[in-house]
Amino acid sequence: MSPLDAYVAAIVGAFATYFWRAFGVAVGGRLDPQGRAFEWFACVAFAVLAALVLRLILFPSGGLATLPAGVRLGAAALAAGVYFALRKNVLAGCLTGAGAVALAAWAA
């Protein structure tokens, strides 16, 4: 593995990423925002996002996998609780959840 190879991989990754963005613009110009096809596409976008979040919380790779799933779920639930209790405060929710994970990892 040379450093050059890593750059090739990064450039391939960049093309694979921009492809979808350009595709989204190309399709977007043709769909009626009030139409059913558009609403379906929006539902898929939100579903993929939720699936990604669940995967990162429930099936993480790396260091997070060393914590019990219950800790990760509990921290996420705590974050959501604080978020709603403080009138949808994203920062407070994130800090609470991340703090809970740090405490659990420290105590383990």
Range list of H helices, 1-108: 3-28, 36-58, 69-85, 90-107
**Residue 62 is a binding residue for another protein (CB under 8 A):** yes
**Residue 67 is a binding residue for another protein (CB under 8 A):** yes
Q: Give the count of residues interacting with another protein (CB under 8 A).
A: 77
Shortest separation between residue 81's beta carbon and another protein, angstroms = 11
**Residue 73 is a binding residue for another protein (CB under 8 A):** no
Residues 23-42 that bind another protein (CB under 8 A): 23-25, 27-29, 31, 33, 36, 38-42
40-62 exposure pattern, b = at least 16 Cβ within 10 A, e = fewer: eeeeeeeeeeeeeeeeeeeeeee
The correct pick among 2, 74, 81, 90 for binding another protein (CB under 8 A) is: 90
**Residue 74 is a binding residue for another protein (CB under 8 A):** no
**Residue 86 is a binding residue for another protein (CB under 8 A):** no
* Separation CA 76–CA 69 (nearest Å): 11
- Using the structure block, give the residue that is written with the tokens 């994203």: 90
